[in-house]
Chain A
């Protein structure tokens, strides 16, 4: 192959290498647990925080789309704030992964709550079932 082509391909390879390097440094997201985050949270850095939504911690105000809850890994608890309705697979006592950053005022600002779609199912849940039945009654009763 002629040197011109070798040089050309080398230039492309270097450019690609640089783009990948820049891309990684700019969009790296660190996976952490609440205890890992608690010890050395850096404001502004992008994190993906995974934990259990603590029972009794979820507060959802539809009026101003404010969702607050606490994520815990059993050792540490991190308060999380999110703007937007709770996603479908979100609930107390369940696992959740949130993406966002640490706010120096002392909470985690979630930009994204990740829904986990599982191919296999858990056994039918009696409580949620009865909840739905009750919901059905209320809504049918209230009419349209």
Chain B
């Protein structure tokens, strides 16, 4: 009964969404508020129905309803309670439900927030939101029916992918999808602006917080994905330039570009066309990512199910791009700039360059990801480019971005005088140069590491220069110290929120640089009682033990850090044997540290427990990546605080 209810609810939701989309559009066109109001009710209805679907699906998982194919494929009687809940979005069909649910929430918030505000844009934005929602509901109904019955009903399910039995599975997809779906809102308002011809800055101002929110969740999703990769996949890294990762990274890059270029439009009335193009591109890339990972055209370590769903996404992507292009062509004459670029040495051009670099990075990631397809189509040879390609091409771009991160926020608008440059950058440049010298003298011989660290410190110094100067000004005005800093951050929360986010990115950059430059690893076979050495750690193998968990068997190795660094620590990397899997899954163990992590993966072992092959890694500064993520969170929250009216 439950599956039929769910499928029925979905069908009604689809009908409602399509109706709401049309009603909102007609309402916007004819200016009849009754129609728009009706569309609002439809949006509320869609949200309620998708929520019901999600609830029914969760219920089916909790009650082990193996008559539902999706439930039977992704859970079994041994799956613990909480993983049965996350299994709801553990595979394709359910992840689309989650996606649609979030989109329906965003649609509802758009209704609540904007129905009285952006009069002209709102009906069209609502129409676009409901249109996109219709697409996802269509996907849920036709190519990926989540409530499909299974016959005969199996006694037990196949179980959840063991790699997904992790707390990261609660947060990672949720954050990532909140990011992906969040970009629908700026896209909807951009399309609304194009349709109504109101290409002024209203749509940008309306969607500013939406863009920051979506960007934040996408960043968080990427970072949690890295964390999941680091502590679950057992290869000791956090980023592999895998197509699935790239699929999420591309919209992040263009979204970041958009976040910056809107400031130019707000301030100087420039880049209108560019901003519309960027937001369309970002939205299109979220669809493209789903197409890429779900259609099976690109081999990935994730290797998702193949199916007709790819065709759906590709067609919808085509429709979105064609529609946007047609609208852009139609409104071409209203998209001209009102401002002009005055000088190469100005904040405008720093932001422009930032955008060029970010889009270039997105392009190289795109190019590298689809390269196997291109080469096969053009030359008939299957060639792929791996991590070296992405690193080689992107590292210079990212270094340039770190530099601009320091220059952009401080350099003068229009035309920077020599005086302005000296005032802002004398200290940071000096600090950067001194830092480079110190690192070099301290024995850092990787040019790349020296360059990155020096640039990072330069940029951090520009932030410090600004904060110190502004705080001093307040102190002179008679404020007391801690209060002056707090007031500064809160009064100009958008600017300083941005600075804190930049600091977070810098900390991530240091983590990435350090882990690439200074991590070491070794693989070795140890007999019981033997020790292995790596980077000052002496690790002794104490034996193996077997245990039975609720849904798998586990063979755990015990390794003790004998003497010297970290003495006494016990690491227990294991291998898990799931009945539904043909091969074991590594369960890594690690000691996280501020400067370095000790990380161990159990490889092969002798059946009598006398001997084990183990991979040991000392990964440096990896924790900084996660710390950077926390700083980024604080910065985003600060930027989102409602801006206070300035006390005149």
**Chain A residues close to B by CB (< 8 Å):** 1-2, 4-5, 8-9, 12, 16, 19-20, 22-24, 26-32, 48, 60, 62-63, 65, 83-86, 88-91, 94, 99, 114-125, 128-129, 132, 135-136, 138-140, 142, 144
Instruction: State whether A27 and B603 are in contact (beta carbons under 8 Å apart), knowing that A12-B356, A19-B396 are contacts in the complex.
Output: no
Q: Does B308 belong to the interface (CB within 8 Å)?
A: no
How far is the CB of A56 from the nearest CB of chain B, in Å? 18
Q: Does B544 belong to the interface (CB within 8 Å)?
A: yes
Q: Is the CB of A31 within 8 A of B608?
A: no
Docked complex Cα distance between A119 and B356 (Å): 37
Chain B's closest residue to A4 (CB) is: B344
Q: Sort chain B's interface into a size bin.
A: 35 or more
Q: Is the CB of A20 within 8 A of B302?
A: no
Contacts of A114 in B (CB 8 A): 301
What are 6 inter-chain pairs, A to B, with CB distance below 8 A? Answer: A88-B585, A120-B73, A121-B158, A121-B161, A135-B555, A136-B548
Question: Shortest 3 CB-CB distances between A and B: which pairs?
Answer: A85-B603, A31-B382, A139-B546
Instruction: State whether A139 and B607 are in contact (beta carbons under 8 Å apart), knowing that A9-B356, A31-B384 are contacts in the complex.
Output: yes
Docked complex Cα distance between A13 and B548 (Å): 58
Q: Which of B532-580 contact A (CB under 8 A)?
A: 543-546, 548, 553, 555, 558, 575, 577, 579-580
Docked complex Cα distance between A122 and B583 (Å): 11
Q: Which of B362-395 contact A (CB under 8 A)?
A: 363-364, 367-368, 371-372, 381-386, 388-389, 392-393
Q: Which of B135-177 contact A (CB under 8 A)?
A: 158-159, 161, 163
Contacts of B609 in A (CB 8 A): 138-139, 142
How far is the CB of B143 from the nearest CB of chain A, in Å? 16
Other-chain contact of A65, B385, B386, B389, B613 (Cβ < 8 Å):
B613
Q: Does B261 belong to the interface (CB within 8 Å)?
A: no
How far is the CB of B272 from the nearest CB of chain A, in Å? 14
Docked complex Cα distance between A16 and B361 (Å): 9
Instruction: State whether A124 and B579 are in contact (beta carbons under 8 Å apart), knowing that A27-B385, A139-B546 are contacts in the complex.
Output: yes
Q: Is the CB of A5 within 8 A of B349?
A: yes
The dominant DSSP class at the B interface is mixed
Docked complex Cα distance between A111 and B119 (Å): 61
How far is the CB of A75 from the nearest CB of chain B, in Å? 18
Docked complex Cα distance between A118 and B644 (Å): 51
Q: Does B202 belong to the interface (CB within 8 Å)?
A: no
Contacts of B417 in A (CB 8 A): none
Given A22-B392, A132-B577, A139-B546, list of 14 further CB < 8 A pairs?
A: A2-B340, A5-B341, A5-B344, A9-B356, A30-B383, A32-B382, A84-B603, A88-B586, A119-B92, A135-B555, A136-B553, A138-B607, A138-B608, A139-B544
